[in-house]
Structure 1
Amino acid sequence: MTSTAPDLPVSDRLREQHGSALALGADCDLPDDLVIEIDPGAHLTIGDRVSIRRGSTIQVHRGATVAIGNDVAIGEHTFISAMAGIRLGDGAALSNMVDLHDHNHRERSSTHVTTGQLVPWASGFEAAPIIIEPGAILSNKVSVTGGVRIGANALVGANAVVSHSIAPDTIAAGVPAAARRHFDGAAVPFIDDRRTLTVGFFGTSIMEHLEAFNTQLVDQANLPEVGSKVTVEGWHQRGWVHRLALSLRAAWPYVTFNVKNHGEGGATSRDIAGIVDSDRTANSFDYDLVFLGCGINDVWRRFQGRMSEAVGIEEYAGHMAGMLAQLSGSSRRIVVVSETPFGPIEAPKTVAEMNAELVRYNEAAAKAAAEHGALFLDVWSPFTAAARQLASAPSAHEPASVWSDGVHLTELGDTVLLQQTERFLAEHRIVDRLLDYPRLERDRALQIYGPMLAGWRPEVA
């Protein structure tokens, strides 16, 4: 540490003390007793016109980054400590005695403390970024834990403990902090690091759901005349997966959903296991959420007499276990979706036999999901109920079916799946929980989250 003259202005003293590890903007109002600790390989950026009041401390531990935007106000006796990264967006405000810790001790388990050493740091630390978006305000004595993102313009009430992410334009309070109401927020600068969730789908044509496409057919100002002909220009994926993607984007407009639909028409579990393997071999990204569903073609092929393509129940269970094991290593949450039943494609007796067999496959899927920590979404009962009740409607009512051909689904069938999936996601609060950044072992957190904050730090010697 370099010794500095006590009569230097605070900004000059800090620049001399920390050198290139500190980037300090213009016209900042900093107290004489501000404590800044920057470990080797760490970096602190403070923007222009930042105000920090007396008694505050900023710790940036080894390799971590703290980035404070322009026009940020930080109150008295505030404590900011980072092992992964903390960012305060432009115009954000922290009132007095706010505490931001992006890390915590890991549990003192035999896995983490192999030597039995009885010191507080023996178990190591886990960390995840704290992101406070532009215009957010944290009132007195608010504590924020690692992995939390607080949205633009959010207002967090005094004494709250923010352990889960808060949406933009939200008033939150309590322990743990929860949304009390939402409001029409003021405009904020473009947020160039929006929260992104990657969602994968692996399944059959029920997930793939191809639809013929022609540009003119969807141009309301230039629709083709009745009786005219148009050319199929390509295929789009539609169905319940497409509609769920739209629903997610509408419900969480401040989140980017990166949807990857790997559904394939006619695929058995044998085929889908190959798709999962190829995807995990070729792609380095992780999934936040995965939907996995198959089995209908495994059963159907046997009843079609295509025995070389049919997949028996034991092989099917093996494929499900293998796929779940692969996906578990690179996915935060997996939802196994049951297959929908067969409709009237054969003689009633044959359809009943097919569905009885398909039930066994769904039961095997539910068992595999439980063994691998995945959730199981059973759409069979609501789907059969909708099909039965629609079939019993009087002839004067508009005819409708959940199937287009006894296997593939109509828009109505897709809507049943959509509603069940939306209800399931809401019941388990899956998306809300995925908005938190996962807390990882300290060095792993630096590796994974470092690129998020790289734009706010120069190269550190």
Structure 2
Amino acid sequence: MTSTTPPATPSVAERLRAEYGAALTLGADCDLPDDLVVEIDQGAHLTLGDRVLIRRGSTIQVHRGATVAIGDDVAIGEHAFISAMAGIHIGNGAALSNMVDLHDHNHRPRTRANVPTGQLVPWASGFDAAPIIIEPGAILSNKVTVTGGVRIGANALIGANAVVSHSIAPDTIATGVPASARRTFDGAPAPREDRRSLIVGFFGTSIMEHLEAVNAQMTTQANLPEVGSKVTVEAWTPRGWVHRLSLSLRAAFPHATLEVRNHGEGGATSRDIASTVEGDRATSGTDYDLVFLGCGINDVWRRFQNRMSEAVDLAEYTQHMHTMLGQLSGYTRKIVVVSETPFGPIDDPGTVAEMNAELSRYNEAAAKAAAAHDALFLDMWAPFTAAARHLAPANTDDGAAGLWSDGVHLTELGDTVLLQQTEKLLAEHRIVEKLLDYPFLERDAALAAYGPMFTRFRPANN
């Protein structure tokens, strides 16, 4: 009589490798439950790093063309659900507690355009998608939901039952629906992978450009020139409210990379700036996250200087504003139209009053154009005139500084008023925070746009 040994039951890892082949990259020493559900569609790829721990009842769906990349030493609790149509990356050492839900996609609304036949099935309208990035060391507590487009920073701790619909900075505790930062802490060392980058553009006049002459010795505290000595101008350097805003944003969002492109031009009218906008797109092809657009003061000033060939009347100015906003809207996520600041004591009071009356009409036209193109409008007129009523002109005997250096260009104090109002607008609308999210795109467009983010997690032939 002979005895037979029953064949060994294949491990979960062996079963998954046999089923999905090259569509699956599975690291060493993973602890996977018997009831783990994995679905990998055509052209999709799932990567699990070394020592990944997944508890019972969890599901990983990788839809057509998408990528899910789970790093080394990641722990995933019971009944977690991970579903990707664009891409999801969970960094090394991150943890998802029980019943965490990561979905990088949403149903599109059932509009006539999305469902022209009126077909009554849930997927008829299609899907929008945007990646989810969870950086190393982040911890998501029980029943946390993360929506598409969100980046959760390294070491972040998300409280139980939170819904994370906007990105969370590293070293941050966030809770609530929607989740928001409660406090920050001194985070443990953790790699910041693929820093989020934003491109911010400025199109306007010298009030945006604001160049100053510099010599390195003038700013080197240990080697300042003697009082009364002479130095040579070595270069021009940006100053003013745009420069200070860029520093402020970099300080407020150190975990992101902000690339500032200042296209301000001294003496430019709306006619010149419209040409700059068009030329920038034609030569650089830059897609902007945030653009500030402001012009009009030179359009008016040239007429009062009797430089009529350069002056731009209100009708032409309005046309230029609509043209620029129409162009910028095609490749900019958020646009802020900045009103012109009023003229200061540049001429006799009667002439200045007439110039400001005319300039206010241009600002009104800019506000209407902004509304027509779904752009924000930053009204600087009211705060500027309110401050001017209480401040002496520049270079007065008592040393008090006014808002204007020459009636048009701004002093540091004038720049500060503009800076504060801009920061207030950005904070009230949470503009930068929202721009740090990845924008939703139609499913196939999302795969094309975000696919390069996940190339390194896929074999070269997959």
Counterpart CA distance in 2 for 1:216 and 1:305 is 41
Tell me if the contact between 2:393 and 2:402 (Cα under 8 Å) persists in the aligned partners.
Answer: no
| Matching residue within 78, 91, 94 for 2:93 | 91
Counterpart CA distance in 1 for 2:453 and 2:286 is 15
Tell me if the contact between 2:393 and 2:400 (Cα under 8 Å) persists in the aligned partners.
Answer: no
| Matching residue within 95, 102, 105 for 1:103 | 105
Shift of 1:166: 1.5
Counterpart CA distance in 2 for 1:98 and 1:53 is 12
Partner of residue 200, structure 2: 199
* Percent of aligned pairs sharing the same letter: 76
Amino acid at match of 2:277: V
1:165-204 aligned at under 5 Å gives the runs 165-189=167-191, 191-204=192-205
**Distance of aligned partners of 1:192 and 1:171 in 2 relative to their CA distance in 1, 3 Å threshold:** closer
Whether 1:419 and 2:431 are equivalent positions in the alignment is no
Counterpart CA distance in 2 for 1:139 and 1:284 is 42
Helix, strand or coil at the partner of 1:332 = strand
Helix, strand or coil at the partner of 2:258 = strand
Amino acid at match of 2:311: A
Counterpart CA distance in 2 for 1:426 and 1:415 is 16
Counterpart CA distance in 2 for 1:194 and 1:366 is 35
Tell me if the contact between 2:393 and 2:401 (Cα under 8 Å) persists in the aligned partners.
Answer: no
Structure 1 unaligned blocks of 5 or more = none
Partner of residue 40, structure 2: 38
Partner of residue 78, structure 2: 76
1:397-436 aligned at under 5 Å gives the runs 397-436=398-437
Counterpart CA distance in 2 for 1:175 and 1:55 is 25
**Distance of aligned partners of 1:285 and 1:371 in 2 relative to their CA distance in 1, 3 Å threshold:** same
Shift of 1:392: 8.2
Shift of 1:227: 2.4
Tell me if the contact between 1:41 and 1:460 (Cα under 8 Å) persists in the aligned partners.
Answer: no
Partner of residue 151, structure 2: 149
Shift of 1:9: 2.6
Helix, strand or coil at the partner of 2:42 = coil
Structure 2 unaligned blocks of 5 or more = 1-6
Whether 1:364 and 2:373 are equivalent positions in the alignment is no
Counterpart CA distance in 2 for 1:94 and 1:60 is 18
Amino acid at match of 1:74: I
Tell me if the contact between 2:267 and 2:298 (Cα under 8 Å) persists in the aligned partners.
Answer: yes
Amino acid at match of 1:212: A
1:265-344 aligned at under 5 Å gives the runs 265-344=266-345
Shift of 1:289: 0.8
Counterpart CA distance in 1 for 2:201 and 2:229 is 38
Shift of 1:32: 2.0
Superimposed CA distance per residue, residues 382-436 of structure 1 (whole angstroms, 9 cap, x where no aligned partner): 112222211289x785321111111111111111100110111111111122122
Superimposed CA distance per residue, residues 101-157 of structure 1 (whole angstroms, 9 cap, x where no aligned partner): 100111111110011111111000000001111111111111111111111111111
Amino acid at match of 1:416: V
Amino acid at match of 2:30: C
Counterpart CA distance in 1 for 2:285 and 2:60 is 35
Amino acid at match of 1:264: E
Moved beyond 6 Å, runs of 4+: none
Helix, strand or coil at the partner of 1:391 = coil
Counterpart CA distance in 2 for 1:348 and 1:392 is 14
**Distance of aligned partners of 1:58 and 1:434 in 2 relative to their CA distance in 1, 3 Å threshold:** same
Of 228-237 and 101-110, the range deviating more from structure 2: 228-237
Counterpart CA distance in 2 for 1:106 and 1:65 is 21
1:342-381 aligned at under 5 Å gives the runs 342-381=343-382
Superimposed CA distance per residue, residues 5-28 of structure 1 (whole angstroms, 9 cap, x where no aligned partner): 972232233223222221111221
Whether 1:118 and 2:113 are equivalent positions in the alignment is no
Tell me if the contact between 1:97 and 1:140 (Cα under 8 Å) persists in the aligned partners.
Answer: yes
Shift of 1:277: 0.5
Counterpart CA distance in 1 for 2:56 and 2:305 is 78
Shift of 1:165: 1.4
**Distance of aligned partners of 1:109 and 1:450 in 2 relative to their CA distance in 1, 3 Å threshold:** same
Q: Normalising to structure 2: TM-score of the pair?
A: 0.95
Partner of residue 240, structure 2: 239
Matched pairs, number: 456
Tell me if the contact between 1:336 and 1:369 (Cα under 8 Å) persists in the aligned partners.
Answer: yes
Superimposed CA distance per residue, residues 60-85 of structure 1 (whole angstroms, 9 cap, x where no aligned partner): 11111111111110111111000001
Tell me if the contact between 2:135 and 2:193 (Cα under 8 Å) persists in the aligned partners.
Answer: no
Tell me if the contact between 2:36 and 2:58 (Cα under 8 Å) persists in the aligned partners.
Answer: yes
Counterpart CA distance in 2 for 1:95 and 1:306 is 69
**Distance of aligned partners of 1:119 and 1:21 in 2 relative to their CA distance in 1, 3 Å threshold:** same
Tell me if the contact between 1:42 and 1:460 (Cα under 8 Å) persists in the aligned partners.
Answer: no
Partner of residue 3, structure 2: none
Helix, strand or coil at the partner of 1:221 = helix
**Distance of aligned partners of 1:274 and 1:396 in 2 relative to their CA distance in 1, 3 Å threshold:** closer
**Distance of aligned partners of 1:127 and 1:96 in 2 relative to their CA distance in 1, 3 Å threshold:** same
1:437-452 aligned at under 5 Å gives the runs 437-452=438-453
Partner of residue 390, structure 1: 391
**Distance of aligned partners of 1:397 and 1:186 in 2 relative to their CA distance in 1, 3 Å threshold:** farther
1:54-65 aligned at under 5 Å gives the runs 54-65=56-67
Superimposed CA distance per residue, residues 182-203 of structure 1 (whole angstroms, 9 cap, x where no aligned partner): 22221212x2311111111000
Counterpart CA distance in 1 for 2:33 and 2:225 is 70
Helix, strand or coil at the partner of 1:146 = coil
Counterpart CA distance in 2 for 1:231 and 1:396 is 30
Counterpart CA distance in 1 for 2:88 and 2:286 is 23
**Distance of aligned partners of 1:55 and 1:117 in 2 relative to their CA distance in 1, 3 Å threshold:** same
Partner of residue 28, structure 1: 30
Tell me if the contact between 2:59 and 2:80 (Cα under 8 Å) persists in the aligned partners.
Answer: yes
Aligned alpha-carbon RMSD (Å): 1.7
Counterpart CA distance in 1 for 2:224 and 2:29 is 59
